[in-house]
Amino acid sequence: MVGQGHVLRALTNALDNDRVHHAFLFTGTRGVGKTTIARILAKSLNCEQGVSSTPCGLCSACQEIDAGRFVDLIEVDAASRTKVEDTRELLDNVQYAPTRGRYKVYLIDEVHMLSGHSFNALLKTLEEPPPHVKFLLATTDPQKLPVTILSRCLQFNLRRLGIEPIQQHLEKILTTESVSYEPIALAELARAADGSMRDALSLMDQAIAFAAGEVNEADVRAMLGTIERHEVYDLLEAIASGESNTVLEQIKQLAEKSPDYHEVIVEMLSALHYIAVIHQWPDAFDASMGDQARLQQLALQMTAEDVQLYYQIALHGRRDLAFAPDPRTGLEMTVLRMLAFRPVDGDTQNAVAVKKTAAATPPVIQSPQATPRSPVVAPRAEAPVKETQHRVTPAIAEPAIQATTVSAPSSEQDDWHQLMGRLPTAGVVKQLAMNCSLVSQQAGRWLLALDPNHRHLLTAERQERLQEDVCSTLDRQIKLQIDVLPPTSETPAARLLREAAERQAQAQAAIANDDGVKNLIEAFGAQIKPDSIQPQ
pLDDT digits (tens, 9 = 90+) for 495-513: 888 988 898 889 889 998 9
Domain co-membership, 444 together with 484: yes
Average pLDDT score over residue span 51-60? 89
What pLDDT sits at residue 418?
87
Domain co-membership, 10 together with 139: yes
Quick one: residue 427, left, alpha or beta (phi over 0 = left, psi -120 to 50 = alpha)? left
pLDDT greater than 90 at residue 310: yes
Asked, for residue 377, whether it belongs to a domain, the answer is: no
Calpha distance 482→437 (Å, rounded): 10
Query: DSSP letter string over 437-505?
Result: EEEEEETTEEEEEE-GGGGGG--HHHHHHHHHHHHHHHTS--EEEEEE---SS--HHHHHHHHHHHHHH
Domain co-membership, 78 together with 108: yes
Calpha distance 10→88 (Å, rounded): 31
Long-range contacts of 221-228 (CB under 8 A, 24+ apart): 221/188, 224/188, 224/192, 225/259, 225/260, 225/263, 226/188, 226/192, 226/260, 226/263, 226/267, 227/254, 227/257, 227/259, 227/260, 227/263, 227/264, 227/267
Domain co-membership, 28 together with 67: yes
Strands 133-139 and 104-109: parallel
What pLDDT sits at residue 311?
94
Where residue 412 falls among pLDDT bands split at 50, 70, 90? low
Calpha distance 210→349 (Å, rounded): 48
**pTM: predicted TM-score of the whole model, two decimal places:** 0.51
Asked, for residue 376, whether it belongs to a domain, the answer is: no
Asked, for residue 352, whether it belongs to a domain, the answer is: no
Domain co-membership, 147 together with 37: yes
CB 213 within 8 Å of CB 206: no
Higher per-residue pLDDT: 488 or 441: 441
Asked, for residue 382, whether it belongs to a domain, the answer is: no
Asked, for residue 171, whether it belongs to a domain, the answer is: yes
In terms of Cα–Cα distance, which of 124, 196, 127 is closest to 161? 196
Domain co-membership, 317 together with 423: no
Asked, for residue 372, whether it belongs to a domain, the answer is: no
Asked, for residue 237, whether it belongs to a domain, the answer is: yes
Q: List the domain range (segments joined by +) for residue 67.
A: 5-157
Domain co-membership, 304 together with 425: no
Q: What is the mean pLDDT of the chain?
A: 80
φ/ψ of 371, rounded to 5, equals -75, 125
Calpha distance 157→27 (Å, rounded): 5
Residue-wise pLDDT for 415-437, tens only, equals 788 888 888 888 788 889 999 99
Task: Please identify, among 171, 195, 224, the residue that sits at the C-terminal boundary of a domain.
Answer: 224
| Number of folded domains that form the chain | 5
Strands 445-450 and 436-442: antiparallel
Average pLDDT score over residue span 357-385? 38
pLDDT greater than 50 at residue 295: yes
Domain co-membership, 119 together with 84: yes
What pLDDT sits at residue 172?
92
Residue-wise pLDDT for 81-123, tens only, equals 767 777 787 777 888 888 888 998 988 888 888 888 888 888 8
Where residue 374 falls among pLDDT bands split at 50, 70, 90? very low
Domain co-membership, 509 together with 428: no
pLDDT greater than 90 at residue 314: yes
Calpha distance 18→289 (Å, rounded): 46
Domain co-membership, 322 together with 282: yes
Highest mean pLDDT among 109-118, 468-477, 520-529: 468-477
Average pLDDT score over residue span 312-333? 91
What pLDDT sits at residue 344?
57
Asked, for residue 320, whether it belongs to a domain, the answer is: yes
Task: Please identify, among 224, 254, 271, the residue that sits at the C-terminal boundary of a domain.
Answer: 224
Average pLDDT score over residue span 70-81? 84
In terms of Cα–Cα distance, which of 45, 65, 207, 39 is closest to 138? 39
Domain co-membership, 19 together with 129: yes
Average pLDDT score over residue span 304-309? 90
